[in-house]
Every structure is written in C-alpha cells, then in structure tokens.
C-alpha cells in the first residue's frame, strides 16, 4: 500500500463474492448408489437459460466472510452456518460485467448435506474434471470457480480424514471412506485408506471406557472422532527436510 492521502481520487470497483457451495450427497440419495460431490446452483431470473452460483456485492463495513454469509442467506436461504470461505481467485477482466467495473472474488465453502435441507436452488453433480452438470450452462466465470473449488477439496481429501469437517460427530471408517470416495469421485482401496486414516483418528469411547460402535448390516464398526489436534502431517508423506545437520 502506498502513500496516498486522498483516496477519493480513486474510484474503486464493485466487489462481489461468488461462492461454490460444495457438499457430498449421500449414496442413498444420489441416484447412483454412490456418494457424489455436488455444488449448489440457482436459476437467475434475468436470463432464460443459465445457471449461476450464489453471490453478492460487498457492502461498506462488511468483511468478505460476512458478504459470503449474507449471500448464502439471501440467495440460498442458509442461515446460521459458520463456514470457512476459501478464496480461490479474483476475476478481474475489466470488461467482464457490462454494467460497470466489478471484481469478483471466487470462493469455496464446504457444507454438510444435512445443512442444505431447506436450501433454495439445486444441487448439480460435479464430475471428475470439476464440471458441474446443471441443466443449463454456468454463466460468467462460475465454471472456473467450481472447477478450482473441486480441485482444492479433492486435494485436501486425499491425505486427511474429512478435513472440511462434513461429519459433525463420530463416524466409522466405512462412512468416512464413502465420504472420501464421493469427494474424489473415485473408489479407494479399503485397506490402505484405513491404514492412513486410523492413525489420524481417535476411537470414540464411553465414560466407562467401552468403545462406541455402529452397525450397518454386518459386524459393528468402531466409531472414530477427528483428533482435536489439526495439522498432523500424514505419516506417509516423507519430507526432504533434514532432521539433523548431516549430509
């Protein structure tokens, strides 16, 4: 930031936030029998054929996070979620909005499917390439936002158990794997997946020390909780950094 005493010499752009609300549709509801990554879209009233992400202009005195929360409230009818918007990129083409100079801050948020119950809009399936299959094409740069949002979420879900916290409470390894397969859009190896994840989880126990179990048609499974300590590096990812002074 430079030294400019009179800011009024600059006319700032209108700044919008556009949000890819990502969720995982549970297997029984997805139609395919598998959990599926999906994004919340809506049909705007100002075009006949087109789909957009929820978005909103930033008001003075607001933070970006507040504008995101407002957009989710006003556009999607979602209230009271405490989400962590992740900034993806800025769309800054000076001619991108014919109505005037606007910037758009593309964001991603991950929301548990249950919290999208009363939401307005539709859930569009996100395919392996990050393309949303809404009925009509995504307008503006919104396809890019969805693709980058999906890419980021997939990268996060490859090494850590449910890093976005879509499970509110405990979960079994099978439920966790369903979730991860939905996010990644790929099947995962059960044994390797379990080995990687177990070491980052804590088995849930009752106060008397007995394990909390959950059954799904077979042998009951241990229920796990995310470790309270975040940022534990997955053991599998060896680092080049030297622990000592050697060489």
Q: Which residue has the tokens 């009233």?
A: 45
Quick check: helix, strand or coil at residue 75?
A: helix
Phi and psi at residue 117, in whole multiples of 5°?
Answer: -50, -65
Give Cβ neighbours of residue 86 (< 8 Å, ≥ 6 apart). 107, 108, 109, 149, 152
Q: Which of a copy of itself, DNA, none sits in contact with 184, Cβ below 5 to 8 A by type?
A: a copy of itself
**Residue of 24, 111, 184, 201 interacting with a copy of itself (CB under 8 A):** 184
As beta bridge partners, residue 127 has: none
Q: Which of DNA, a copy of itself, none sits in contact with 221, Cβ below 5 to 8 A by type?
A: DNA
**Residue of 36, 38, 56, 226 interacting with a copy of itself (CB under 8 A):** 56
Nearer to a copy of itself, 1 or 169 (CB): 1
**Residue of 191, 207, 209, 228 interacting with DNA (CB under 7 A):** 191
Site membership for DNA, residue 219 (CB under 7 A)? yes
* Tokens representing residue 182 in the block: 């939905």
**Residue of 37, 38, 58, 134 interacting with a copy of itself (CB under 8 A):** 58
Residue closest to 116 by CA, chosen among 143, 147, 80? 80
CB atoms within 10 A of CB 15: 17
Nearer to a copy of itself, 195 or 202 (CB): 195
- Chain residues binding a copy of itself by CB under 8 A are 1-5, 7-8, 10-16, 18, 44-46, 52, 55-65, 75, 87, 89-90, 92-94, 97, 99-105, 140, 158, 184, 186-190, 192-193, 196, 236-242, 245-247
């Amino acid at each position: 930031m430079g030294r400019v005493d009179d800011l009024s010499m600059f006319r700032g752009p209108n700044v919008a936030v556009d949000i890819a609300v990502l969720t995982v549709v549970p297997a029984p509801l997805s139609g395919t029998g598998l959990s599926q990554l999906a994004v919340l879209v809506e049909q705007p009233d100002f075009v006949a054929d087109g789909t957009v992400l929820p978005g909103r202009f930033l008001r003075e005195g607001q933070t970006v996070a507040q504008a995101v929360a407002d957009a989710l409230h006003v556009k999607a009818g979602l209230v009271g979620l405490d989400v962590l918007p992740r900034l993806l990129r800025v769309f800054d083409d000076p001619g991108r909005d014919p109505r005037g100079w606007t910037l758009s801050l593309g964001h991603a948020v991950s929301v548990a499917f249950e919290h999208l119950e009363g939401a307005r809009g539709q859930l569009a399936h996100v395919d392996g390439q990050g393309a949303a299959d809404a009925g009509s094409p995504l307008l503006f740069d919104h396809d890019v936002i969805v693709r980058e949002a999906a890419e980021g979420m997939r990268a996060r879900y490859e090494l850590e158990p449910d890093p976005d916290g879509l499970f509110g409470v405990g979960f079994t390894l099978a439920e966790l794997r369903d979730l991860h397969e939905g996010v990644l859009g790929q099947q995962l190896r059960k044994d390797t997946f379990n080995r990687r994840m177990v070491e980052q989880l804590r088995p849930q126990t009752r106060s008397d020390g007995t394990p909390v179990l959950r059954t799904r048609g077979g042998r009951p499974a241990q229920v796990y909780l995310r470790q309270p300590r975040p940022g534990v590096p997955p053991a599998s990812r060896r680092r080049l950094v030297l622990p000592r002074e050697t060489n």
